[in-house]
Structure 1
Amino acid sequence: MCRPTHFTVTYSINPWMDPRKPVDPDLALAQWEDLRDRYLSLGHTVHLLDPVPGLPDMVFAANGATVIDGRVLGARFANAQRQREAPAHLDWYRDHGYTQVHEPEHVNEGEGDFVVTRSWLLSGQGFRNSPLASAEAQEFFGRPTISLELVNPRYYHLDTALAVLDGDLVMYYPAAFSPGSQAVLRSLFPDALIATEADAELFALNAVSDGRHVLLPQAATALADRLRELGFEPIGLDLSELLKAGGSVKCCTAELR
């Protein structure tokens, strides 16, 4: 995770960002600290990446890399405003003992674009990921990689439209994907929890699950009820200030596998 020390919204690179809307940095920090503290209270370890001045979106640590079995695929950001984040993330991994670190040739935005299930690496296409990034990731990780076409700019990263609950059990919002990708999702994940448009609009799919607890936006009460029916324990959090930049629970969380 990366503390939102420099968080603000001074540019717009996704439909959620509006520089005309004021940001309360103290509230953003308090909301982020609540998320960090929830992880700690659940017994998880939280490592911190030092924020860099002039990089307000660095709080969205999930975008900096994808880590599977200790192998680190770095990010190459699509927008100039975020490109300096990539080397800061890779420096952190190298400084913390990761030796298999790959600097990508093709544009990908870490776990924004890549979602890891037990059997698959899912790759979101259409807005912020080069079509060549999927093959690069598959070659590096040696894991079957499935490309999914995103068609709604409000769900510009895969982690805004799909989340892993446990193993190969996922939840997703079908209308965020092309018809062909919807068919692929139905085939791969027949038992998936299907989210509604109302769920997606609340950023409810930008969630993190440890296989039991599912941390998600607190406004997503309907989806939380359905998660309880499946045996999960949803934990609602208010990250509304960070949502002003198009991020929530998952965006703030890079998972170290």
Structure 2
Amino acid sequence: MQPETTIIARPETASPTTRSAVHKTVLMCRPEHFTVSYRINPWMHPEIPTSTSVAIEQWQSLHDAYVSLGFDVELIDPIAGLDDMVYAANGGFTLDGHAYGAKFTYEQRVPEGPAYMEWFAANGFEVHEPEHINEGEGDFLLSNGAILAGHGFRTSLESHEEVRRIFDREVVSLRLVDPAFYHLDTAIAILGDDNIAYLPTAFDDASRAELERRYPHAVLVTEEDASVLGLNSFGDGRTMVIAGRAADFDRQLTERGYATVGLDLSELLRGGGGIKCCTLELRR
């Protein structure tokens, strides 16, 4: 089965907003050992067979999309037995040449933390070993100089203070309340330096009010699009790589002057991850 790729690139002149791309460097992990052999989130059903070859094809389509956008793509070697290592975003959080390592909630993923920290150290980052439970860029997103920080399911609130201390940035704690959106990067997409897209019902009242205050012009995504991990997307400020099935999200982005690349990562969705989950931004 070949992965379905939909590329939708509309001229910038179709919108009054002209957007500029910011060069990105990302870390990815080829899913050579991908399968679903346990259940640690609502998307995972070990009784349903998965296809590693299809997962690799779909992952490759994402890798190639990034290369076509001019991204620098670096790779970490996959490790046998670590089914979820393809979800590189969970491996840590990097900023200003520092890397904050991950300390996973579930024992099946615990070995990923040291593997990613070893890679960071070998590739020029000053590594900070975590004291508290956190799942990296799955729950830490950089926006307008501040770090949006999720908690409620996978990342502890205590880790937010660690991040504040290490990076000396404002940290905005946001509480997730829907088990289907257990990482922040499944409920928020960073669109650029100063705006986001998000699913309001994924957050408690206080967090939702904070998002409304900070981002009055945010894109509000439908439950239907969020349910295919439409918000689990990544871009460079001009082009957003999104789930191909997130049709209304695509429409809203287009209306705001973004180009979009729609991909099918449905096999990797069986593990609870999408485009952003497979993407760890490297900020040296």
Query: What TM-score do you get using the length of structure 2 for normalisation?
Result: 0.89
Which among 38, 56, 61 is matched to residue 34 of structure 1?
61
- Which runs of structure 2 are paired with 1:70-109 in the superposition (5 Å)? 70-98=97-125, 100-109=126-135
- What amino acid sits opposite 1:230 in the alignment? R
Deviations 1:203-254 (A, max 9, x none): 1000001101100111112110110110101110000000000000000000
CA distance in 1, matches of 2:257, 2:210: 26
Q: Once the 2 structures are TM-superposed, how far is the Cα of residue 43 of structure 1 from its aligned partner? A: 0.7
Farther off after superposition, 117-126 or 43-52: 117-126
Find the aligned partners of 2:272 and 2:224 in 1 and give their Cα distance: 16
Q: Deviations over 1:71-130 (max 9, x none)?
A: 1111000000000001110111111122x2100100110011111112310111100011
Tell me the amino acid that sits aligned with residue 136 of structure 1.
E
Moved over 3 A (4+): none
Pairing 1:1-257 to 2, within 5 Å after superposition: 1-98=28-125, 100-257=126-283
In structure 1, give the amino acid aligned to 2:223. E
- Matched residue type, 1:174: P
Deviation for aligned residue 1:198: 1.0
Q: Secondary structure at the match of 2:240?
A: strand
Query: Is the 2:97–2:124 Cα contact (8 Å) retained in structure 1?
Result: no
**Identity within the alignment, %:** 49
- TM-score (normalizing by structure 1): 0.98
The whole-number CA distance in structure 1 between the counterparts of 2:95 and 2:144 is 11
Q: Which structure 1 segments of 5+ residues have no match?
A: none
Which region of structure 1 is more displaced relative to structure 2, 221-230 or 244-253?
221-230
Once residues 120 and 209 of structure 1 are traced to their aligned partners in structure 2, the CA distance between those partners, rounded to angstroms, is 18
* CA–CA separation in structure 1 for the residues paired with 2:173 and 2:165: 14
Partner amino acid, structure 2, of 1:94: A
5+ unaligned residues in a row in structure 2: which ranges? 1-27
Q: Which amino acid aligns with 1:228?
A: T
